[in-house]
Homo-oligomer: A and B are copies of this chain.
């Protein structure tokens, strides 16, 4: 059970741009930071733009940035957008009659489990990944 490379790359791009809210980020920067293909990243960035996650600026000094604040980008939405159907098992089309019912039940059980997976992600945003965690208050021990 693995995400597609498309989802993997989408998360890398979104994390990278979230860390730089005041910059126009280039595909080259993301590709070099992760040592991955610029060609694949281009498709991902284009998709994230079309889906309203990123805005882009052309020309020298251009690039992409988040369209909305990182707190408003829920990880569940990113996964639902980039993974597509989330069917864990291939459809059972040419199945013999007596097996149809058990495999339908299996599909239902799996869909419930995927729902639980997605609900768990609903409480996390991009901001939760990139924002500094508040340092615990300390009383100096050196005095």
Contact = CB atoms under 8 A, between A and B. Distances in A.
A15 B86 contact: no
Nearest to A93: B35
A88 B3 contact: yes
Contacts of A75: 106, 109
Interface string A119-142: 111001000111000000000000
Given A34-B95, A109-B128, A117-B113, A4 B3 contact: no
How many copies make up the complex? 2
A2 interface: yes
A15 B99 contact: yes
Nearest to A117: B117
Interface in A86-109: 86-90, 92, 94-96, 98-99, 102-103, 105-106, 109
Contact of A1 (B19, B86, B92, B119): B86
A8 B4 CA distance: 18
A94 to B, nearest CB: 6
The 6 A-B pairs of least Cβ separation, nearest first, read A113-B120, A116-B120, A117-B117, A102-B129, A116-B116, A15-B102
Given A16-B99, A109-B124, A113-B120, 19 more contacts: A1-B1, A1-B86, A2-B87, A2-B88, A2-B89, A3-B89, A15-B103, A19-B98, A19-B102, A33-B95, A34-B92, A35-B94, A102-B129, A103-B129, A105-B128, A105-B129, A116-B116, A116-B120, A117-B120
